[in-house]
Amino acid sequence: MKKISLYVIFAVITISISAQKYEGLANTPPMGWNSWNKFAFNFDEKVIREVVDAFEKNGLKDAGYEYIVLDDGWMTKERDENGNLVPDPRKFPSGMKALADYIHSKGLKFGIYNCAGNKTCGGYPGSAGNEYRDAKLYASWDVDYLKYDWCNTDKKHAQTAYSTMRDAIKEAGRPMVFSICEWGLNKPWVWGKEVGHLWRVTGDIANCWNCSYTFRKLSTHGILPLLNIRKHDNLRKYSGPGHWNDYDMLEVGNGMSDAQNRSHFAIWCMLSSPLILGNDLSKMQWETINILTNKELIDINKDSLAIECFKYKTLWNIDIWARPLKNNAWAICFVNKNGFKIKLQYNWAKHIIEDEIFNKKLDCSHEVYTLRDLYAHKDIGTTETPLEKEIGKHDVLMLKLTKKEK
């Protein structure tokens, strides 16, 4: 009996140790690019190499973006005779290892996609029943990031399915950021910290400001509806280093106005959401590049206090988002949802902002803060006087407040 008991204890300890994700990854929200939003299934080796080259040319690498992620459609419709996934030879004639080597040679990291079901969302082979085989294959290609979807899963238990792939990655022996993409259907924020490094909390994003539609029985939303349907204030306590709420990939540069793009990027930085680009990087306008490489906003996204923002209130159809930062600073984001420009008049002394979850308070009636406009890259006064600023249609005023020394 003693020997059996000791064996059982040893087995439980062994399972517990093996069932750990790779720690030390995604200590700040991951930054990179994914093929889906712009190219869907229509991408190949040439497109990916152009994206890689654009990272350096357009300053994205210097700004902190590092992952190049191939989404659904990179493989053939069937596995080979040994049960392995096969990169589509028409799209990737050089193979995945050669592509990974090219990406790594530029100081970037390589990401790939699969699904917890029998088929991916696009009908390609999923990983159900092949998790360990697939993880080993990805490791042989030097994959750094796995996005794992939730199509064709029937009645699978989400936490179990994602934990199985987590364990497969660990056994494969190569550290990979594990992106849980089951659209928030099974409350991944409750169990995701032990399983992955980020998890989707919403349905898919669309390249529009205020629209919603259904695609393949799944809800797809523009920027405003995506934020409105979130259970945001209940979710923010689950986010932090190595385990992030993911509000989906960015649509900056995919057809919205510059003002909408600025608002979209600012809010994602406030949310500590992963910043995964979804546009054609080889054909960006200068304003798009300026938005995506704005290091002052990216610093907000990566702030070491790692507290996700919350919506303080809405005034005159302007949403006011607040985020505590390190060194007792704050980020405040004013988003004009009106279809016309509006002159903001905001008396700092009359608005005491409290973060009850993290026990933070912004009280400008007793403390003075300097105001930094993060898109204009200039200081614009202090909280000693009311703020008067014109904000354009669907545009944003993004501020950092730093406590003034007495």
What is the band of 15 on the pLDDT scale with cuts at 50, 70, 90? Answer: very low
Q: What is the pLDDT of residue 214?
A: 79
Q: What is the mean pLDDT of residues 75-102?
A: 98
Q: What is the pLDDT of residue 2?
A: 39
Q: What is the pLDDT of residue 164?
A: 98
Q: Is the per-residue pLDDT at 216 higher than 80? A: no
**Among 374, 322, 336, which Cα is nearest to 259's?**
336
Tell me the CA distances in angstroms from 80 to 86, 131, 186, one per residue in order.
7, 16, 33
Among all chains, which residue has been given the structure tokens 């509000």?
Answer: 247
Looking at the chain, the whole-number percentage of residues with pLDDT higher than 70 is: 93
Q: What is the pLDDT of residue 405?
A: 81
Q: What is the mean pLDDT of residues 330-337?
A: 98
Q: What is the mean pLDDT of residues 339-359?
A: 96
SS3 at position 258: helix
Choosing from 144, 149, 248, 355, the catalytic residue is 149
Q: What is the pLDDT of residue 16?
A: 40
Rounded Cα distance, 165 and 169, in Å: 6
What is the band of 229 on the pLDDT scale with cuts at 50, 70, 90? Answer: low
CB 207 within 8 A of CB 255: yes
Q: What is the pLDDT of residue 191?
A: 97
Rounded Cα distance, 68 and 114, in Å: 15
- The secondary structure of the chain in percent helix, strand, coil, rounded to multiples of 5, reads 30, 25, 45
Active site residue 204: yes
Q: What is the pLDDT of residue 265?
A: 98
For the segment 28-47, what is each residue's pLDDT rounded down to a tens digit? 999 999 999 999 999 999 99
Q: What is the pLDDT of residue 9?
A: 37
Q: What is the pLDDT of residue 219?
A: 78
Choosing from 72, 134, 204, 319, the catalytic residue is 204
What are the tokens at 137?
């294959």
**Among 369, 403, 374, which Cα is nearest to 387's?**
369
What is the band of 217 on the pLDDT scale with cuts at 50, 70, 90? Answer: low
CB 60 within 8 A of CB 292: yes
Q: What is the mean pLDDT of residues 107-118?
A: 98
Strands laid side by side in the 244-246 sheet = 244-246, 198-200, 177-180, 145-149, 109-115, 67-69, 31-34, 275-277
Among all chains, which residue has been given the structure tokens 């790779």?
Answer: 22
Tell me the CA distances in angstroms from 283 to 13, 44, 47, 57, 334, one per residue in order.
52, 17, 12, 12, 29
What is the band of 233 on the pLDDT scale with cuts at 50, 70, 90? Answer: low
Q: What is the pLDDT of residue 186?
A: 94
Computed over every residue of the chain, the mean pLDDT equals: 93
**Ordered domains of the chain (ranges, CATH):** 13-301 (3.20.20.70), 310-403 (2.60.40.1180)
AA letter at 337? K
- Give the list of residues 6+ apart from residue 17 with CB closer than 8 angstroms, or none: none
Rounded Cα distance, 60 and 274, in Å: 15
Which range is least confidently modeled, 112-116, 171-175, 211-215, 222-226? 211-215
Q: What is the pLDDT of residue 110?
A: 98
Which range is least confidently modeled, 234-238, 248-252, 324-328? 234-238
How far does CA 310 lie from the centroid of its chain?
17
Rounded Cα distance, 213 and 262, in Å: 23
Tell me the CA distances in angstroms from 140 to 39, 97, 146, 177, one per residue in order.
26, 8, 14, 16
Strand pairing class (360-362; 353-355): antiparallel
What is the band of 278 on the pLDDT scale with cuts at 50, 70, 90? Answer: very high
What is the band of 213 on the pLDDT scale with cuts at 50, 70, 90? Answer: confident
CB 226 within 8 A of CB 245: no
What are the tokens at 355?
């973060």
284-303: b or e for each residue (b if 16 or more CB lie within 10 Å)?
Answer: beeebbebbbbebbbbbbbb
Among all chains, which residue has been given the structure tokens 């290892």?
Answer: 97
Which range is least confidently modeled, 45-49, 193-197, 350-354, 402-406? 402-406
Q: What is the pLDDT of residue 226?
A: 85
pTM (2 d.p.): 0.93
Q: What is the pLDDT of residue 8?
A: 36
How far does CA 161 lie from the centroid of its chain?
21
Q: Is the per-residue pLDDT at 363 higher than 70? A: yes
Rounded Cα distance, 162 and 247, in Å: 19
What are the tokens at 218?
């799944």
What is the band of 230 on the pLDDT scale with cuts at 50, 70, 90? Answer: low
AA letter at 311? K
For the segment 281-316, what is each residue's pLDDT rounded down to a tens digit? 999 999 999 999 999 999 999 999 999 999 999 999
Q: What is the pLDDT of residue 218?
A: 72
Looking at the chain, the whole-number percentage of residues with pLDDT higher than 90 is: 89
Active site residue 149: yes
CB 305 within 8 A of CB 322: no
**Among 310, 217, 208, 296, which Cα is nearest to 251's?**
208
